[in-house]
Amino acid sequence: MIPVLHSDDDFLILDKPSGLAVQPGEGVRICLLDAVERDYGFKPYLVHRLDRETSGCLAVARSPRAASMLSALMGGNGAVKRYRAIVVGRPEPASGILGGKVRVRERMVDAETRYRTLAGAAGFSLVEAELGTGRNHQIRQHLAGAGWPILGDDRHGDFKANKAAAAGWGAKRLMLYACALTLPLQPPVSVTAPAPPHFADFCARVGMENP
């Protein structure tokens, strides 16, 4: 059963496991939508998405009305979405804003990611990123473009560094999770998700604290 971080009459916020696809697709035996309907007894409506490899905070609505309300918040009208990632190298400066265009399907679109460095060890850094826009793979693209690719990213990352970290540290999965979600409702809803096991294990192996 997928852990619940928040539940009310309108929606759930779940701690999505890494490796679970959100929607049906080729090669997907069961997806998050199936699991929610099976375990919680209602048909969920997606209001935002996480990549299959990314774990953490994900909201699903209980009705079309709630989905419309939450989609408006997720579309840039107040929701705060924060992620944590292990990147290769040390960001310089230690905090800032990454802008510029990212590729979404076949188009280049504007995006903004705010970041801050939380810790570093063994040539890697723990970075917290907050979305200014909600583009597909924007954190992965922005950090890679800045020269600090996310460890384990097999699409936008550093393949040589990924291979070395897998051999030397056992890092074989994407080091990215949605750590926090805040919704400006009345009253506000704010949740945090724990680091997934493979992320926490890597931090422990290299001696990096995840505050």
DSSP letters, 82-122, are EEEEEEES--SSSEEEE-SEEEETTEEEE--EEEEEEEEET
> What is the C-alpha to C-alpha distance for residues 39 and 139, in angstroms, rounded to an integer?
31
Tokens, residue 36: 């929610």
DSSP 207: T
Exposure string for 63-80, b = 16+ CB within 10 A, e = fewer? eeebbebbbebbeeeebe
Which one is catalytic: 8, 15, 39, 51?
51
51 counts as catalytic: yes
> What is the C-alpha to C-alpha distance for residues 71 and 10, in angstroms, rounded to an integer?
13
Helix or strand (DSSP H, E) at 5: strand 4-7
Active-site residue list:
51
